[in-house]
Amino acid sequence: FLFFNYNLFVMVSSCSATAIAHPNIALIKYWGNRDDATHIPANSSISMNLGDLSTRTQVILDSDLENDQLILNNSPANDAAQLRVQQFLDYFRAKSGKKAYCRVISSNNFPTAAGIASSASAFAALTLAAAKVYQLELDQRELSRIARLGSGSACRSIPPGFVYWQAGNDHQSSYAESFAPPEYWDLVDCIAVIGDTPKTTSSIEGHRLAATSPLQKARIETAECRLNQCRNAILERNFSELAKVVELDTNLMHAVMITSQTPLLYWQPPTIAVMQQVLNWRSEKLSVFYTIDAGASVHVICLQKDSEEVIKKLKLIEGVRMVIPSGVGGAAHLVES
């Protein structure tokens, strides 16, 4: 009996793997693809991982299944999400030669309706756990390339800390790498959550629209300069330089969004109220800046020493539903199931 149990344990443990990954906030944005299918981006981007937020994903390889199954935050996922995961796992089946399907159980430790993109952490965690169960030995660069196939920004959630996603021009040359570890600079992202409806236009659709804006060309052509400024500001821990370049870059992305055909306007009145207050606080010498993704919520970034004050101030702004703070996070990693 003992012998049988031991075998069962070995069998089960070799067919299941669990990984944790953090979402990331882009400081220099990715908006628009050179290739939509493989998410080869129009420009390189820079991000930092958000260590206090995470997605935990278990993948169980099960030869009895007739399809992949996805459980998201304790409920079966909708058809679109199931299909996206199934197509992603097809890559691992093709690469490993193993045909079996998987049960994928994934949950986030942050509220789903908070407007924090979970696709980056979700696909980064899924990449690690799936590579393990399909027995593929992959280095961090290759894991990043594969995560990108699931969601562009997911490639930035594979390495730790402050990350540079080199756009490249094909699958091989497009991957993300860390250029400073999480403890390099104690920045805090205070996420001012605004609005509670799911965003009206997905980023998949948004990336397709980017090229319809007459401003996209100028944004892409000038990205290299901002990328250098941003990386240097982080490496020199120069907060005011970082503030300037990050706000310029997010405003450029939203200018592209607003001028796309059809236009995408993600901001709501409280979004602008937070932006204005951040500028006021900075003029009063508080070290703080904003950045905004494809949604109404505002990421307000400050130094750890000022985070309590920033959170308190943000909570007083009408329309801010809650503030979720996060420090800089590490790499995606496997954990015990």
Smallest gap, in angstroms, from Cβ of residue 73 to ligand DP6?
Answer: 18
- How many CB atoms lie under 10 A from the CB of residue 213? 21
Structure-token match 């980064």, residue found: 124
Decide: is 290 part of the binding site for ligand DP6 (CB under 6 A): no
327 touches 278 (CB < 8 A): no
β partners of residue 102: 61
CA atoms 161, 148, 219, 298: torsion sign: negative
Residues 48-107 that bind ligand DP6 (CB under 6 A): none
Selected from 68, 247, 249, 293, the binder of ligand DP6 by CB under 6 A is 293
Cβ proximity to ligand DP6, 30 vs 164, nearer residue: 30
Selected from 43, 119, 271, 307, the binder of ligand DP6 by CB under 6 A is 119
Decide: is 245 part of the binding site for ligand DP6 (CB under 6 A): no
Decide: is 152 part of the binding site for ligand DP6 (CB under 6 A): yes
Among 229, 273, 53, 44, CA closest to 153:
44
Decide: is 22 part of the binding site for ligand DP6 (CB under 6 A): no
Name the residue whose CB lies closest to ligand DP6. Answer: 152
C-alpha to C-alpha distances, 313 to 172, 275, 291, 308, 310, nearest whole angstrom: 45, 13, 17, 9, 5
β partners of residue 178: 163
Decide: is 313 part of the binding site for ligand DP6 (CB under 6 A): no
Decide: is 278 part of the binding site for ligand DP6 (CB under 6 A): no
Selected from 18, 22, 32, 39, the binder of ligand DP6 by CB under 6 A is 39
Decide: is 258 part of the binding site for ligand DP6 (CB under 6 A): no
Smallest gap, in angstroms, from Cβ of residue 126 to ligand DP6?
Answer: 13
Instruction: Determine the interface stretch with ligand DP6 among 12-20, 29-37, 177-185, 237-245 (rule: CB under 6 A).
Output: 29-37
Question: How many residues in total does the chain contain?
Answer: 337
Smallest gap, in angstroms, from Cβ of residue 280 to ligand DP6?
Answer: 25
CA atoms 183, 305, 187, 119: torsion sign: positive
Decide: is 247 part of the binding site for ligand DP6 (CB under 6 A): no
**Cis peptide upstream of residue 262 (ω within 30 degrees of 0):** yes
Decide: is 204 part of the binding site for ligand DP6 (CB under 6 A): yes
- What is the spatial distance between Cα 106 and Cα 74, in angstroms, rounded to a whole number? 8
SS3 content of the chain, % helix, strand, coil (to 5): 45, 25, 30
The burial class, CB within 10 Å (0-12 / 13-18 / 19+), for 71 is: middle
Decide: is 30 part of the binding site for ligand DP6 (CB under 6 A): yes
Decide: is 117 part of the binding site for ligand DP6 (CB under 6 A): yes
Residues in touch with ligand DP6 (CB under 6 A) = 26, 29-31, 39, 45, 117, 119, 151-153, 203-204, 207, 293-294
